Amino acid sequence: MKSYDHIVVGAGISGLTLSLLLAMNGKKVLLLEKGARIGGSLNRFYKESVPFDTGFHFTGGFARGGILTDMLHVLGIGEQIKPVFLNAPGSGLFIFEKDNLTYDMPSGTDRFRLKLHEYFPKETQGIDEYFSRVKKVYASTVSLDLRKIGLSAETLEEDYQSLQSVLDSLTADRHLQGLLSVFCVCYGVKPKEVSFASHARVSGGLFESVARIENGGEAFIRAFSGSFKQTGIEIICNASIVECANIKNDTVGEFVLNNGEVIKADHCTFTIHPQEIIKILPREHLRKAFLERVASFETSNGFFAVSAIAEGADPQQFGPSIASLLPDTDINALLDPDLKGDGALAVIRSVETGKDGKKYCVVNAFEPEFYHNLEQWSDSSVGRRPRDYYEYKTKKVKRIGERFRQIYPQYRDNFKVLDAASVLTFRDYLFSPEGNAYGIKQKMGQFNLFGKLPLVNIYVAGQSAVLPGIVGAMLSSFIVARNLVGKENFNRFIEGELAN
Ligand SMILES: Cc1cc2nc3c(=O)[nH]c(=O)nc-3n(C[C@H](O)[C@H](O)[C@H](O)COP(=O)(O)OP(=O)(O)OC[C@H]3O[C@@H](n4cnc5c(N)ncnc54)[C@H](O)[C@@H]3O)c2cc1C
């Protein structure tokens, strides 16, 4: 029987990060991935030789001394991940469509704040108060400093205040409220459901800098793959755990894989959707209250995605940029599953190199979409969906094309859609139960699974644990690694790598 120090389940950014951290600390690691290849939401796909991103498109955390820069440095792959900052004028547009109002917002927290002063001269006090609170939360969140990360982050007053309540106390201007809560769409929780602290932990990095990565998520996959070879991490794809066996004193001794193989490991960490984890764990070792808690978790939205190109557009003039189209100033309404009409739409432009070596002007557009609205087609699988599902998709693609042409009339005649995906597509490709973009919502009053589970050698990390997005997913793995490797050893390791 093969034997390991650690099994890591799921090879998205969380599983990749955790596996490498453990191996760098001398552990023997097996990484299991249900899909045919590693990478999860980092993977790209190609249509007519043009590369498109599946999940990950842009991130914060790359500013000087930023958390993402630090994490990549510790992992020894910083040199291979090249950020492309979105800081040219016009690269961060927020458009309230009904009111025909466009805000061109710069990168950098202070520049963003001062630009808001120009747009809302009567609201400067509320604006300053908002940013000083964002900065306070960001600075006092221990997990955002790799030297101090711990499983139990310090709780702040702002962990118990909703973003909406803070906004209401600062301004009554609905456009300003919309702009100060727009990043909720980047993690899928309504302003009235999310704590100000969670909002600040994600948005703090996005205000500071927004960047795409050269070659998208594939750059991460290549970098990790290289380091895996050097550190001897073993990977099995098309693999998952179907049973936990030989359990003594609430400790799992053996793990049975879908191919029948039985593996011994001292620890196993799941980086997959919590509701999928529960299906694998032995029920008789879990309390009813625990199972009920997991069953009640509210999942985040997914996205309807359109992958397109602007044919014949000049790559020199094309992005990178993100335009956020907002049909309403109330972000709560835009994240409501029962919303009628258009949703918020993120239009991401970038220039990508195709498989044929040519430069393409690429457009990725995303609109929040909710699984329960597509439930009538949930029994179907990729390539085998009923006709009315395709009619639904065609209608959505047409409407998103109209909205794109409205803001970019110069590409009116050369906007060419190459593919489209719904939450059902994401569900089937990423093995996430409802095609959610961010797993379980990080909302007030919901205590997500993180760290050690009731079984003593089973842990949880991943995007549903502490914060969504790739930064949150990686952070959760750093925190769990610290627990698994031991605080002292891990701190020494972090200090050593950061000093390199
Ligand atoms: C459309 C979309 C757009 C997004 N845009 C951004 C963005 O621009 N910026 C950003 O930061 N974040 C974005 N996100 C979110 C981001 O992609 C995720 O937060 C992050 O990649 C999650 O990483 P993860 O490792 O936790 O999960 P995943 O990437 O989902 O990886 C989980 C892995 O586990 C595997 N798996 C599942 N079940 C099992 C099992 N039983 N056994 C073994 N393996 C299993 C899956 O196949 C997958 O490879 C987006 C997500 C989506 C869907």
Cα 323 to averaged position of ligand 1 atoms, centre (Å): 23
Cα 297 to averaged position of ligand 1 atoms, centre (Å): 18
Q: Is the pLDDT of residue 458 over 70?
A: yes
Give the separation between CA 453 and CA 371, rounded to whole angstroms: 28
Three-state SS string over 14-78 comes to: HHHHHHHHHHHCCCCEEEECCCCCCCHHHCEEEECCEEEECCCCCECCCCCCCHHHHHHHHHCCH
The closest-lying atom of ligand 1 relative to the alpha carbon of residue 39 is 49
Question: What percent of the residues of the chain are helix, what percent strand, and what percent coil, each to the nearest 5?
Answer: 40, 25, 35
Report which protein residue has its CA nearest ligand 1's atom 3: 55
Q: Taking residues 315-329, what's their average pLDDT?
A: 94
Q: Taking residues 226-249, what's their average pLDDT?
A: 97
Q: Is the pLDDT of residue 151 over 70?
A: no
The token pair at 109 is 């927290």
**143 or 272, which is more confident:** 272
Q: Sheet with 302-310: list strands edge to edge.
A: 101-104, 92-96, 321-326, 345-353, 359-369, 302-310, 415-421
HSE at residue 163, side-chain half, CA atoms within 13 A, is 31
For residue 144, the model assigns a pLDDT of 67
The CATH fold assigned to 108-208 is: Guanine Nucleotide Dissociation Inhibitor; domain 1 (1.10.405)
| Confidence grade of residue 185 (pLDDT, cut at 50, 70, 90) | very high
For residue 299 and ligand 1, the question of a CB distance below 6 A is answered with no
CA neighbor of 92 nearest in space, from 209, 176, 174:
209
**Beta-sheet pairing, 92-96 with 321-326:** parallel
For residue 66, the model assigns a pLDDT of 85
**pLDDT, tens digit (0-9, with 9 covering 90-100), for 474-496:** 999 999 999 999 989 999 999 99
**pLDDT, tens digit (0-9, with 9 covering 90-100), for 392-449:** 999 999 999 999 999 999 999 999 999 999 999 999 999 999 999 999 999 998 889 9
How far is the first Cα of the chain from the last one, in angstroms, to the nearest whole number? 38
Cα 12 to averaged position of ligand 1 atoms, centre (Å): 6
The closest-lying atom of ligand 1 relative to the alpha carbon of residue 40 is 49
Tell if the pTM clears 0.85, that is, is over it: yes
pLDDT mean across residues, the chain: 94
Q: Is the pLDDT of residue 143 over 70?
A: no
Q: Which residues pair with 364 in a beta bridge?
A: 307, 348
Tell the residue number behind the tokens 């432009």, with chain if given: 349
The token pair at 274 is 């919590």
Q: Taking residues 225-240, what's their average pLDDT?
A: 97
Q: Where are the domains of the chain?
A: 2-80+215-297+439-499, 108-208, 301-437
Q: Is the pLDDT of residue 153 over 70?
A: no
| Confidence grade of residue 71 (pLDDT, cut at 50, 70, 90) | very high
Give the separation between CA 89 and CA 51, rounded to whole angstroms: 26
Answer CATH for 2-80+215-297+439-499 from 3.40.50.10170, 2.30.30.110, 3.50.50.60, 3.20.20.70: 3.50.50.60
Give the separation between CA 416 and CA 90, rounded to whole angstroms: 22
Q: Is the pLDDT of residue 67 over 80?
A: yes
The closest-lying atom of ligand 1 relative to the alpha carbon of residue 463 is 26
Give the separation between CA 272 and CA 15, rounded to whole angstroms: 9
The proportion of the chain whose per-residue pLDDT surpasses 90, expressed as a percent, equals: 89
Q: What is the DSSP string of 361-376?
A: EEEEEEEEE-GGGGGG
* 71-85, 152-166, 214-228, range with the lowest pLDDT: 152-166
In contact, 321 and 92? CB cutoff 8 Å: yes
**pLDDT, tens digit (0-9, with 9 covering 90-100), for 72-81:** 999 999 999 9
